[in-house]
């Protein structure tokens, strides 16, 4: 029987400074299976791991895409660290068996992630995801990426503003065409019927935004044909790992 894969959102989530090397390290110590973060591309083609698309430098809000690495590195997080790059992430945790999931906003970001993952020989450990706040069709994000690499894992984060989720919103035809293996939905719209539908169509089912113990327990106990929900993302990954190990090891 499978166990639910636990993603630490931006590392250790609400514990510490998100998207910092310290947070990623703490998440690993908590026992997560993988790290969920966001990727931005600098002017000089470096991947930085941050949700922010703009940085406030000298009183001006400047897109990361218009800044080079040296200038971005001058920006300090609350714990005094600089914003980590993707090579720094892979280098720091090369001896850990964990996965990496990256939200992207452009195909170019995804392609650059793949190039760096190839350099570190961790392509099998990464997953590239469309942002849940991106309403564009899957093809706009993933077609160029799939043409660049036929096998990299891709994830469809369903548009957050769908309050009444219908099958058409899942873009199943595009998912099949682009070989996208996972559907990722917000906990507010995740339920057993949707889980069953996604599994029956041959995809993995992931739930994100799970914060409270009761919700965690409900999702961790959910099974269809002997199969648990494939993945859960949380800003309280330590709590989720403890409950997963207790519920799914019985």
Q: Where are the domains of the chain?
A: 5-247
Nearest residue to 2 via CA among 180, 233, 243, 231: 231
pTM listed for this prediction: 0.94
The answer to whether 155 and 128 are in contact (CB under 8 A) is: yes
- In 27-179, DSSP assigns E strands to 34-41, 47-49, 54-57, 60-63, 99-104, 126-130, 153-157
Structure tokens at 24: 């990623």
> What pLDDT is stored for residue 167 in this prediction?
77
Question: Which band of pLDDT confidence, cut at 50, 70 and 90, is reported for residue 63?
Answer: very high
For domain 5-247, the CATH architecture is Alpha-Beta Barrel (3.20)
Nearest residue to 36 via CA among 231, 233, 215, 207: 233
pLDDT reading at 228 higher than 70: yes
> What pLDDT is stored for residue 1 in this prediction?
54
Percentage of the chain exceeding pLDDT 90: 88
């Amino acid at each position: 029987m499978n166990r639910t894969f636990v993603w630490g959102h931006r590392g250790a989530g609400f514990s510490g400074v998100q998207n910092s090397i310290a947070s990623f390290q703490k998440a690993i110590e908590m026992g997560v299976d993988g790290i969920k973060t966001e990727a931005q591309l600098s002017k000089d083609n470096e991947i930085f791991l941050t949700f922010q698309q703009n940085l406030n430098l000298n009183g001006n809000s400047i897109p990361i895409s218009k800044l080079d690495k040296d200038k971005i590195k001058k920006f300090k997080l609350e714990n005094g660290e600089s914003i980590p790059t993707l090579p720094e992430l892979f280098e720091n945790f090369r001896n850990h068996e964990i996965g990496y999931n990256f939200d992207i906003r452009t195909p170019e970001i995804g392609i650059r992630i793949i190039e760096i993952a190839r350099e570190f020989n961790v392509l099998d450990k990464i997953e590239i995801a469309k942002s849940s706040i991106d309403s564009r069709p899957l093809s706009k994000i993933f077609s160029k990426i799939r043409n660049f690499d036929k096998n990299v894992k891709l994830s469809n984060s369903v548009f957050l503003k769908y309050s009444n989720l219908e099958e058409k919103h899942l873009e199943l035809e595009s998912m099949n065409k682009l070989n996208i293996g996972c559907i990722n939905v917000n906990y507010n719209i995740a339920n057993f019927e949707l889980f069953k539908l996604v599994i029956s169509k041959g995809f993995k089912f992931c739930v994100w935004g799970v914060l409270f113990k009761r919700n965690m327990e409900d999702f961790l106990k959910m099974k269809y044909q002997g199969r648990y929900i494939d993945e859960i993302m949380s800003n309280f990954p330590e709590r989720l790992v403890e409950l997963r190990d207790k519920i799914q090891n019985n």
